[in-house]
């Protein structure tokens, strides 16, 4: 076969194969061109998932007829002036989008610059360029792509359904809109509105606040109410954005937006760093929501990895990863007192309005026996907090028995003291019910704490802190505990005596099918030793092949915390309950147990008022 130069149109079609994978990627090129031209308003229209029509109208600089002619030529660009590939500040720079798109579709570009009265249009169909013709036009540019891939039908076969292609296109526009808060965006499919956001006023919001506002506009109410603002600036690396509270999560990664130097990217390293930061805060297999902007000097990031430019490469990956994890952990750690408002909402919705009428109260309902109150008002079975021996001298409790069988009580304390106590974020304990939950009154509502979940988190965080130091304080058991196990379980434990000693558990063999526990971590106090050892065996068996126990610190802490915590069903007195609340306030991440469930729910007075139709 003779060696020959490829015809221009074929080159463009090959390039199109790289740049234009699907309608969404063509759309991305058009939108980025509009932004590079300084547009502040972009209107996007698509039809047939973008296969039939994609159009972008902008109010940017526009093009003269000469520029229009050059724009569709290969490797012509107005952007890469000094051939400095390491300092790219515009989206485009390859000058291949328009000629590539023109080679595989029917492309129509019309445009007008501000200092001319007339606009101009140009068509490219399957690579064939028309003459430039005049037409009336508003300032800016309109680019219309019809019948994408009509000239390369093989490509069409790889496209998904219209709905899927539309979803991809919308995602691209959403990401770009997030990164350009001062620009107004609209997107329609036929006459259906897919997205409308108006430019965030630079007079009202400046700097990061502009982005926060745009993120809220796009991600909606639920996220906005359950997100933590994050802002960090260290070693020339800046990270800011909104991240979801660990109590708000999704089954997929679709609500995760990441930007590097304002470009939407998908970067595995950073995604992994974010996942790590949420580790042990959210349930397995669930995903946090976030919109995060990473700003790094252009010299340490390479955006030229892939023509579609969603991948980047960092020169100092480790440092960047560390900064991201650090910033997220700090932000999440400061949110101990917040849990998702969605949870409060769900709680409220699960309250059913009583269907009975006042007249129908039966005699039994008025009797005060605990059993009758429990059966009639299960959810409200408030118990008087039991008094401990020491409490006989502490503040006395006055019970106020209400006719409905509920027992309310109140600490007799001066108003000021009460008020002062309520200033604690988690308020002041007033009761325990079902020996499982603690109710506290805060300044503007009530908090219901799951005592086991909360205590488990506290013990877990303490253990984690202890284990990160060198040694752990052990306590000899007065009576060593014998725990019977299967022979292979004993063998398994005996292989890990050193690891277990590191965690403060001193075991010895005791016959063929039992072990003796001599010492345990002091922190755990009185707990279900047998349950813990059995859980540890299960973990050891699973981990044996891959990791040492120390490497799986989290699992061990988790098991120990679970067994070493206040059980549901334990009665607590008021000082104990308040001690739990104060401890929670001091402990990072105490809003969730280590399985990602909330440890408490807060109901605001205004929510409770709504329940009773008072507002
Ligand atoms: P690149 O963006 O890499 O420069 P393109 O093929 O996407 O390459 O565009 C070629 C040129 O066309 C751009 O450099 C720019 O000068 C011009 N251009 C494209 N779209 C627009 C637009 N919407 N407004 C103004 N000029 C545009
Ligand atoms: Mg471009």
| CA dist., res. 180 & res. 276, Å (int) | 28
Instruction: Work out which ligand 1 atom sits closest to the CA atom of 61.
Output: 25
Cα 292 to ligand 2 centroid, rounded to whole Å: 25
Write down the pLDDT at residue 406. 30
Please state the rounded mean pLDDT for residues 333-350: 65
Half-sphere exposure of 112 (CA within 13 A, CB side): 12
Ligand 1: residue whose CA is nearest its atom 8: 95
Q: Give the residue with greater pLDDT, 541 vs 537.
A: 537
β pairing state of 128-129 and 119-125: antiparallel
Ligand nearest to the CA of 75: 1
- Find the helix or strand (DSSP H, E) in which 364 lies: helix 363-366
Q: Give the residue with greater pLDDT, 519 vs 544.
A: 519
Residue 345 predicted with pLDDT over 80: no
Q: Which residues contact 545 (CB under 8 A, 6 or more apart)?
A: none
Write down the pLDDT at residue 398. 27
| CA dist., res. 195 & res. 604, Å (int) | 33
- The runs of H, that is alpha helices, within 97-250 are 97-104, 153-156, 162-179, 208-225
Contact by Cβ (8 Å): 294, 258: yes
Position 374 confidence tier, pLDDT thresholds 50, 70, 90: very low
Residue 383 predicted with pLDDT over 90: no
Instruction: Work out which ligand 1 atom sits closest to the CA atom of 56.
Output: 23
Contact by Cβ (8 Å): 588, 448: no
Residue identified by tokens 């691209």 is 172
Extended strands (E) in 280-346: 290-295, 301-302, 313-314
Q: What is the dihedral of CA 586, 589, 595, 600, to 10 degrees?
A: 60
Residue 567, exposed/middle/buried by CB under 10 A (0-12, 13-18, 19+)? middle
Instruction: Work out which ligand 1 atom sits closest to the CA atom of 58.
Output: 23
Cα 62 to ligand 1 centroid, rounded to whole Å: 10
Q: Give the residue with greater pLDDT, 406 vs 427.
A: 427
The CA distances from residue 137 to 27, 63, 130, in Å, are 22, 12, 19
Write down the pLDDT at residue 603. 86
Q: Give the residue with greater pLDDT, 521 vs 195.
A: 195
| CA dist., res. 494 & res. 472, Å (int) | 20
Length of the chain measured in residues: 615
β pairing state of 119-125 and 106-112: antiparallel
Ligand 1: residue whose CA is nearest its atom 10: 71
Write down the pLDDT at residue 154. 83
Lowest mean pLDDT, pick from 70-84, 287-301, 346-360, 595-609: 346-360
Please state the rounded mean pLDDT for residues 45-74: 95
Residue 493 predicted with pLDDT over 80: yes
* Nearest C-alpha neighbor of 129 from the set 103, 166, 165: 103
Cα 115 to ligand 2 centroid, rounded to whole Å: 23
Cα 171 to ligand 1 centroid, rounded to whole Å: 22
List the helix and strand counts (H, then E) for the chain.
20, 26
Lowest mean pLDDT, pick from 136-150, 194-208, 305-319, 505-519: 305-319
- pLDDT per residue as tens digits for the range 83-94: 555 555 566 556
Please state the rounded mean pLDDT for residues 343-372: 46
Residue-averaged pLDDT of the chain: 78
Cα 303 to ligand 2 centroid, rounded to whole Å: 14
Helix axes 162-179, 23-36, angle to 10 degrees: 20
Instruction: Work out which ligand 1 atom sits closest to the CA atom of 93.
Output: 3
Write down the pLDDT at residue 358. 36
Q: What angle do CA 99, 145, 90 make, to 5 degrees?
A: 55
- pLDDT per residue as tens digits for the range 576-587: 899 889 888 887
For a pocket test of ligand 1, which of 28, 98, 116 has the largest count of ligand atoms closer than 8 A to its C-beta?
98
Write down the pLDDT at residue 213. 95
Ligand 1: residue whose CA is nearest its atom 2: 92
Residues 368-381, buried b or exposed e (16+ Cβ, 10 A)?
Answer: eeeebbeebeeeeb
Write down the pLDDT at residue 554. 66
The CA distances from residue 43 to 141, 295, 416, in Å, are 11, 28, 59
- pLDDT per residue as tens digits for the range 214-260: 999 999 888 888 899 999 998 889 999 999 988 888 878 888 999 99
| CA dist., res. 602 & res. 584, Å (int) | 14
Ligand nearest to the CA of 71: 1
Of all residues in the chain, what percent carry a pLDDT higher than 90? 33
- 193 three-class SS: strand
Lowest mean pLDDT, pick from 126-135, 156-165, 537-546: 537-546
- pLDDT per residue as tens digits for the range 271-281: 889 998 988 78
Extended strands (E) in 126-278: 128-129, 133-135, 140-146, 184-189, 192-197, 227-234, 237-244, 256-260, 263-264
| CA dist., res. 458 & res. 474, Å (int) | 18
Neighbouring-strand partners of residue 290:
243, 256
Q: What angle do CA 463, 323, 458 make, to 5 degrees?
A: 20
Q: Give the residues surrounding ligand 1 with Cβ less than 6 Å away.
A: 29, 33-34, 37, 58, 60-63, 71, 77-79, 92-98, 141
Write down the pLDDT at residue 463. 76
Under DSSP, the state recorded for 592 is B
Cα 313 to ligand 1 centroid, rounded to whole Å: 25
| CA dist., res. 141 & res. 95, Å (int) | 17
Q: Give the residue with greater pLDDT, 43 vs 253.
A: 43
Of 378-382, 406-410, 509-513, 610-614, which one has max mean pLDDT?
A: 509-513
Q: Give the residue with greater pLDDT, 304 vs 587.
A: 587
Lowest mean pLDDT, pick from 105-114, 249-258, 471-480, 580-589: 471-480
Position 409 confidence tier, pLDDT thresholds 50, 70, 90: very low
Residue 362 predicted with pLDDT over 50: no
Cα 36 to ligand 2 centroid, rounded to whole Å: 8
| CA dist., res. 228 & res. 225, Å (int) | 9
Please state the rounded mean pLDDT for residues 417-444: 82
Lowest mean pLDDT, pick from 174-183, 312-321, 363-372, 412-421: 363-372
Ligand 1: residue whose CA is nearest its atom 23: 34
Cβ-based neighbour number of residue 311 at 10 Å:
15
Instruction: Work out which ligand 1 atom sits closest to the CA atom of 29.
Output: 7
Residue 168 predicted with pLDDT over 50: yes
Residue identified by tokens 């019309």 is 110
Write down the pLDDT at residue 421. 59
Q: Which long-range contacts (CB under 8 A, 24 or more apart) does 85-91 make?
A: 85/304, 86/298, 86/299, 86/302, 87/298, 87/299, 88/298, 88/303, 88/304, 89/298, 90/36, 91/32, 91/33, 91/35, 91/36, 91/263, 91/309
Write down the pLDDT at residue 402. 27
Ligand 1: residue whose CA is nearest its atom 7: 97
Cα 130 to ligand 1 centroid, rounded to whole Å: 18
Residue 4, token pair as written in the block: 């020959």
Write down the pLDDT at residue 216. 94
Residue 431, token pair as written in the block: 């009761």
Position 266 confidence tier, pLDDT thresholds 50, 70, 90: confident
Lowest mean pLDDT, pick from 8-17, 108-117, 291-300: 8-17
Write down the pLDDT at residue 432. 92
* Nearest C-alpha neighbor of 601 from the set 228, 351, 332: 351
């Amino acid at each position: 076969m003779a060696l020959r130069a490829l015809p221009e149109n074929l080159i463009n079609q090959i390039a199109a194969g790289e740049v234009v994978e699907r309608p969404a990627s063509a759309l991305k090129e058009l939108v980025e061109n509009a932004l590079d031209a300084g547009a502040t308003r972009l209107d996007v229209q698509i039809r047939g998932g973008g296969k039939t029509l994609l159009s972008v109208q902008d109010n940017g600089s526009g093009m003269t007829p000469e520029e229009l002619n050059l724009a569709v030529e290969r490797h012509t660009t107005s952007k890469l002036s000094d051939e400095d590939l390491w300092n790219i500040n515009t989206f485009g720079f390859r000058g291949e989008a328009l000629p590539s798109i023109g080679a595989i579709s029917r492309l129509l570009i019309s445009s007008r610059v501000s200092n001319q009265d007339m606009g101009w249009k140009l068509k490219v169909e399957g690579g064939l360029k028309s003459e430039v013709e005049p037409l009336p036009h508003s300032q800016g540019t309109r680019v219309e792509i019809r019948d994408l891939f009509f000239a390369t039908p093989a490509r069409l076969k790889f496209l998904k359904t219209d709905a899927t292609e539309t979803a991809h296109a919308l995602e691209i526009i959403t990401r770009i809109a997030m990164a350009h808060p001062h620009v107004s965006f609209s997107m329609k499919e036929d006459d259906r509105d897919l997205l409308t956001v108006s430019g965030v006023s630079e007079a009202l919001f400046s700097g990061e606040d502009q982005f926060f506002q745009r993120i809220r506009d796009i991600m909606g109410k639920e996220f906005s109410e359950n997100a933590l603002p994050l802002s960090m600036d260290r070693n020339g690396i800046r990270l800011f954005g909104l991240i979801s509270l660990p109590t708000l999560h999704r089954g997929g990664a679709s609500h995760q937006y990441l930007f590097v130097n304002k470009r939407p990217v998908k970067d595995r390293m950073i995604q992994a760093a974010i996942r790590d930061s949420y580790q042990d805060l959210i349930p397995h297999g669930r995903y946090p929501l976030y919109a995060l902007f990473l700003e790094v000097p252009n010299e340490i990031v390479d955006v030229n990895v892939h023509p579609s430019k969603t991948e980047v490469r960092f020169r100092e990956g480790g440092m960047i990863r560390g900064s991201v994890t650090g910033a997220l952990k700090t932000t999440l750690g400061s949110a101990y007192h917040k849990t998702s408002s969605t949870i409060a909402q769900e709680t409220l919705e699960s309250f059913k309005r009583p269907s009975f009428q006042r007249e129908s109260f039966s005699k039994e309902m008025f009797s005060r026996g605990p059993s009758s109150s429990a059966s009639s008002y299960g959810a409200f079975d408030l118990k008087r907090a039991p008094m401990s021996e020491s409490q006989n001298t502490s503040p006395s409790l006055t019970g106020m028995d209400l006719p409905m069988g509920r027992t309310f009580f109140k600490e007799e304390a001066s108003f000021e003291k009460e008020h002062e106590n309520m200033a604690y974020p988690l308020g002041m304990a007033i009761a325990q019910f079902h020996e499982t939950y603690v109710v506290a009154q805060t300044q503007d509502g009530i908090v219901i704490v799951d005592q086991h979940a909360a205590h488990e988190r506290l013990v877990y965080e303490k253990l984690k802190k202890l284990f990160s130091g060198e040694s752990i304080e052990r306590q000899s058991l007065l009576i060593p505990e014998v725990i019977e196990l299967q022979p292979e379980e004993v063998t398994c434990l005996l292989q890990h005596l050193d690891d277990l000693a590191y965690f403060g558990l001193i075991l010895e063999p005791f016959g063929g099918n039992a072990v003796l526990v001599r010492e345990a971590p002091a922190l755990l106090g009185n707990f279900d030793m047998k349950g813990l050892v059995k859980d540890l065996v299960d973990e050891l068996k699973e981990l044996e092949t891959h990791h040492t126990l120390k490497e799986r610190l989290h699992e061990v802490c988790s098991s120990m915390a679970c067994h070493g915590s206040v059980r549901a069903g334990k009665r607590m007195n008021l000082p104990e309950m308040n001690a739990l609340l104060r401890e929670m306030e001091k402990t990072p991440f105490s809003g969730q147990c280590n399985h990602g469930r909330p440890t408490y729910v807060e109901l605001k007075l205004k929510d409770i008022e709504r329940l009773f139709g008072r507002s």
